[in-house]
Chains A and B, each alone.
Chain A
Amino acid sequence: MHESHQASSSLRDPSRREEERRQLEAIWALPKGWRIVSAVNNTVIGYFYIGAAVLFFLLAGVLALLMRSQLALPGNTLLSPHTYNQVFTMHGTVMMFLFAVPAVEAMGILLLPQMLGARDLPFPRLGAFAFWAYFVGGLIFFGTLFFDLAPSGGWFMYPPLTSSHYSPDIGADFWLLGIGFIEISAIAGAIEIIVGVLRTRAPGMSLDKMPMFAWTMLTFAVMIVFAFPAVILATIMLELERTFGWPFFIAAKGGDALLWQHLFWFFGHPEVYIIFLPAAGMVSMIVPTMARAPLEAHMLIVLAIIATGFFSFGLWVHHMFTTGIPALSLSFFSAASMAVAIPSGIQVFAWIATIAAGKLRLDTPALFVLGFLFIFTLGGLTGVMVAMVPFDWQAHDTYFVVAHLHYVLIGGMVFPLFAAFYYWAPAFSSRALSERLGRWAFWLMFIGFNVAFLPMHVLGLQGMPRRVYTYPAELGWQTLNFVSTAGAFMLAAGVLVFIADLVCNLRPSLVSPAGNVWNSGTLEWLQNGLYGLRSIPHVETRYPLWQEQHLARDVEAARFYLPNAPTGTREAIVTSPIEAEPQYLLRLPGPGWPPALAALFTAAFFMLLTVKMIAMALGCGILAIAFILVWAWGSDPMPTDKVNIGAGLRLPTYVSGPRSHAWWAVVILLFVAGSLYLSFAFSYLYLWTVAPAAWAEAAKGGVPDGTFAFAAMGLLAVSSASMYAAEGQLRRSRAGFGLMVVLALLTLTGALVLELVGHWRSDLRPDASGYAALVYLASVLQFQIVAAVVVVGCYVLVRLAAGRLNSERRVTFDTLMLLSHYANAQGALGVLLVHGFPRAVA
């Protein structure tokens, strides 16, 4: 079985193998010196990403030490109230947005290709863009602290406190625009991970053989697609309210403060599982190796992960138990919060069972895993406590919740991350980390953490609320606060020992890492060069290095697929999603400046908008788009004949249509856009339940005459038809094709203009009421997608003129087509909602 997928060794003489290896090395070479900034290789980007995440972890950790120092004594004056409020806001925001999600995303980027037997991720430049956008944006955002410009509304930014009236300073805008754009980075990463995990696995690695970490990263990415748009919409709305007075959250004008909470927590709850699941995936990789036994109940754990991902979307109101929402509604969310505990229980006992089935070697990674089990279980149990509505009525917004969230986040994510650092360092560094320093780091962190956070459970029940810069001496809270501060410093000492270990021992190496020191069974431990694996293996089991005897030897002897580079460029094999059968050869780009520059100018665009330097912001925005187009221009290479990828397999190098990885990426992006629009539809219907009077009034005279609606629908229909016709014309006439595309773009834009004109002429102004603001918001969202379609449409016409688009080489047109049909559908839904709903409820 194994042998039939190898090329016969007699065909490959040693000198030819050596030549092929040198060819691979040349193709995958890294840019030298400072030009490494233009690298797009997943290992380099992964390293940068993880480094940046650790940096933000340390920075936010210092903020935590400042907070604990202030709270060590009652009536302390170390930090002024304003500074403290900025510090706790930044601590939460940086930890959640600039450390937790990027760190696990970084581990995915670093590990997944090697774990799946691929040479790189399917969209290397997108990964590079995501990293630079995050890094530059994150640094600027953190820098606001040094200029007294940091936000101080809490990481959750509740209006009306964060409205322009009660937070007139620019800090809130930095949060809204800064974090809003960093979320784009997370979504870009998510798209890449979904396509990577489902389409670029080694041949033969069917889903049931896929490593658990890949399952968790897949779930993580899908959750991001559905959860992040809710908070993106909320940030757009709050920024529009602050800048232009569109009263989404102002009760007096028909808005509602709770609308923000619903949107934010619809994102916020899945967010914590987005953070936890990849960490659980890492534990599922580490435990079998450390226990020297395969993971017990493998498919049951996969099930648990999928169930967790799904159910976590039904928990969000448990952050709003004290808002006066009807008790029956609250209890639904209490029930769902209980439901999510079952999958967690499955995972915990499966890990324990794996340890029991084998014999655990108590090296540093195992210590961190055991620490994780203790801390996370305790956190999960306090989670069950706060999931009970009456208990939460006392515990909500107190230090009890602070304790709970740190137990599940530090226990559930940081400890597994540190286990992962110690575990995978030998695969990416020429030296493993030190066992001795590792033990010191673990014990200091474990004991320090519990000393810091265990007392907080008691403090919360003694009445200490959250987000307070001080407390009076007469309440008797000072002893526990002081003990907690001591614990925090001990935890910090442990982290410092870890940093020392990194400095002393981590020597990043792509070509000669320390190797499989733990004798693990999964593919990322195979010998790797700059080009990844010497040849792409055919996989038959879950633990290839344990269960397929000569795999390592045969991979290195170039006996499998892609021992060379048949097209002379960087390549990866695209396989089918379930059975991992090879489908085509993907040509990948090499290093280049456009992604990093596009990221830089995108960050600049958002930051300049925040400080209201509109002209410069627009300039940077145009430059960013320009660089993205330059980068796109270099993609979509010309189709060639089928190539021989080794082991007797010939594959096409170009695929368009639903099988194409690019098609998949666009479809995922459309799910993001759709989630964003659904969040808008929810907001529209929600405010109707809160302030129905505005809708009743609108039905009487505020909604434009029916002709506008029909005309807009008509234009949208024409747009869709034109795009459909354009597809037909692609084979026949270039002129006809161009004409149809232009018609599609014009009618799409026309529909949007008609909408705006209609509302403006019926004297509706967006700052008049929550209802009016929502009506115009529909057009804002439509403008976003129309702008994208127009830009891509013009780009497609240029490519047509340059001869880089035809009926065979048509991936760019497919992208336009998908975006355009979606834009029409979204526009139609908007028209139906905005014109039809007020009339329907009148």
Chain B
Amino acid sequence: MRTHSRQAIGPLMAFVVAGCSGPQSVLHPAGPEALGLAHLTWFLFGFGALVLAFVLAAAAIAVRGPERWRAVVASRCMIIGAGVFFPAVSLTGLLGYGLWLTRASIPDTEGREPLQIEVTGEQWWWRVQYAPSTRSPVASANEIRVPAGRPIRFTLQSADVIHSFWVPNLAGKLDMIPGRATSLLVRAERTGVFRGQCAEYCGKAHALMALTVVVMTPTDFASWLENESRPAMEPDKPESRRGRSLFLEAGCGGCHTVRGTPAAGTIGPDLTHLGSRHSVGIASAAMNERNIARFMTDGQHMKPGNHMPTFRIFAAVELQAIATYLAGLR
């Protein structure tokens, strides 16, 4: 009997662990803030399970238990003890734990200068700006890259309706409310690719407003940021050059910016280094030429309700050229 239960625990643990890990999981923390919250979560589950077990045991005894035990459960002592004293004491403890953790979450950069990133929620994408208050901020969209080990201050705003910035592996969520700026201090300890999602219903495509967060080593991040701050790469292939001309002629620059070209629109996402991102349009569409083309001609199917109009004005060759150009913007 004992060996059976021991054998059962292995797969059970594997199931639990597998259920807990994930690129958008609260229980798979990648930083100290999320770690504290994960510990709290396990503690609360344990506490809750114990209390539930106690209540169920009392109810079971009340319904069909032995006479002596039922007398105890029926007593005034039990009602006051279990219904008043126990909650009073345990909730005081819980409140204390919660307050301690809340206090620990209050931004403390430990003397290190945090990396400033400004994120603005738009219907239904993320406008990102690195080092926003310096002379040369770096604009991007829908994907955020951060260095491991360094505190990062996210300044969160909204351009239209209420959104919420949530990367569960790193920290709890914080709303983006028009008219105010909220601030989130986070530190990532583990490199990897994580997923975030807008957590406040913001309209039609709310379900698809996801975010990729890439945690890199500090050296990798530094070189990435350096590259990101440069204007767009010169297209090397003739097809790409053709694509760039088509891109500019069709007026895409009215909404999109590609630094180093006349395209300077800010209504839509910055495309200067589009090709280096993990996804295009929606987080589950991998970055490749086919998906870029699809987003242009069939965007309403990929992301229903999105504000970019569909562009079916191009011939197949032209479309391919534009896609090649954009995919090459690394």
Contacts and interface: CB of A to CB of B under 8 A. Distances in A.
Interface of A: 80-82, 85, 153-154, 158, 160-161, 166, 251-252, 256-258, 296-297, 300, 322-324, 327, 330-331, 334-335, 338, 341-342, 345-350, 352-357, 360, 362, 370, 373-374, 377-378, 381-382, 384-385, 388-398, 458, 460-463, 465-476
A257 B158 CA distance: 12
B83 A348 contact: yes
A370 B59 CA distance: 8
Interface stretch (B6-14, B199-207, B243-251, B289-297): B199-207
Interface of B: 19-20, 22-27, 36-37, 40-41, 44, 48, 51-52, 55-56, 58-59, 61-63, 65, 70-71, 73-76, 78-79, 82-84, 86-88, 91, 94-95, 97-99, 101-103, 105-106, 123, 160-162, 164, 166, 168, 171-175, 177-180, 182-183, 195, 197-208, 283-284, 304-305
B79 A471 contact: no
Contact of B172 (A341, A378, A394): A394
A81 B173 contact: no
Contacts of B88: 342
Contacts of B172: 322, 390, 392-394, 396
A327 B106 contact: yes
B164 A397 contact: yes
Contacts of A476: 22
A296 B83 CA distance: 13
A359 B182 CA distance: 57
B84 A345 contact: yes
Nearest to A382: B48
A160 B177 CA distance: 9
B129 to A, nearest CB: 19
21 contacts: A82-B305, A158-B162, A161-B202, A161-B203, A166-B203, A251-B178, A252-B179, A323-B177, A331-B102, A338-B91, A342-B91, A349-B78, A349-B83, A384-B94, A388-B40, A390-B37, A391-B44, A392-B172, A393-B171, A458-B19, A475-B24
Contact of B161 (A161, A346, A392, A466): A161
B207 A81 contact: yes
> Top 5 A-B pairs ranked by shortest CB distance?
A251-B179, A393-B172, A463-B24, A468-B207, A356-B62
B41 A461 contact: yes
Contacts of B70: 356-357
A394 B168 contact: yes
Contact of A296 (B79, B123, B164, B177): B79
A471 B23 CA distance: 14
A288 to B, nearest CB: 13
A394 B174 CA distance: 9
A350 B83 contact: yes
Nearest to B156: A324
A381 B98 CA distance: 15
A39 to B, nearest CB: 42
B207 to A, nearest CB: 4
A413 to B, nearest CB: 19
Contacts of A395: 26
Contacts of B74: 296, 353-354, 356-357
Contact of B98 (A258, A390, A470): A390
Given A323-B175, A355-B63, A346 B83 contact: yes
B48 A381 contact: yes
A161 B178 contact: no
A169 B160 CA distance: 17
Given A462-B19, A462-B26, A394 B283 contact: no
Contacts of B201: 153-154, 158, 161, 397, 466-467
A567 B71 CA distance: 53
Contacts of A153: 201
B37 A391 contact: yes
Contacts of A385: 44, 48
A474 B283 CA distance: 11
B283 to A, nearest CB: 7
B169 to A, nearest CB: 8
A463 B38 CA distance: 13
A445 to B, nearest CB: 18
B130 to A, nearest CB: 22
A160 B41 contact: no
Given A81-B205, A85-B204, A390-B37, A461 B86 contact: no
Contacts of B40: 388, 390-391
A485 B187 CA distance: 37
Nearest to A165: B160
Contacts of B123: 166
B37 A338 contact: no
A342 B87 contact: yes
A390 B83 contact: no
A349 B26 contact: no
A134 to B, nearest CB: 27
B22 A160 contact: no
Contact of B177 (A324, A327, A357, A390): A324
Given A346-B79, A360-B63, A388-B40, A257 B177 contact: yes
Contacts of A466: 199, 201
Nearest to B70: A356
Contact of A349 (B19, B22, B82): B82
Contacts of A331: 98-99, 102
Contacts of A350: 79, 83
B58 A349 contact: yes
Contacts of B160: 160, 166
Nearest to B92: A338
B228 to A, nearest CB: 26
Nearest to B172: A393
Contact of A394 (B37, B51, B59, B78): B37
Contacts of B161: 158, 160-161, 166
A373 B52 CA distance: 10
Contacts of B76: 296-297, 353
B4 to A, nearest CB: 25
B199 A396 contact: yes
Contacts of B23: 463, 475
A832 B252 CA distance: 56
A686 to B, nearest CB: 14
B204 A82 contact: yes
B55 A377 contact: yes
B173 A257 contact: no
B207 A475 contact: no
B87 A345 contact: yes
Tell me which of B37, B164, B206 has the highest count of chain A C-beta atoms within 10 A of its own C-beta. B206
A154 B203 CA distance: 9
Contacts of B52: 377-378, 381
B82 A345 contact: yes
Given A81-B204, A355-B62, A465-B166, A394 B41 contact: yes
Max count, chain B CB within 10 A of own CB: residue among A378, A394, A460: A394
Given A257-B178, A378-B48, A384-B91, 10 more contacts: A82-B305, A160-B161, A323-B182, A324-B177, A342-B84, A345-B82, A349-B83, A353-B73, A353-B76, A397-B199
A352 B44 contact: no
Given A346-B84, A468-B207, A356 B71 contact: yes
Given A323-B177, A345-B87, A388 B98 contact: yes
Interface centre among A82, A158, A161, A473 (most CB of B within 10 A): A161
A633 B3 CA distance: 83
A396 B83 contact: no
Nearest to A385: B44
Contacts of B200: 158, 397
Contact of A356 (B19, B61, B164, B173): B61
A338 to B, nearest CB: 4
Contacts of B95: 334-335, 338, 388
A585 to B, nearest CB: 42
A415 to B, nearest CB: 14
A390 B102 contact: yes
A370 B175 contact: no
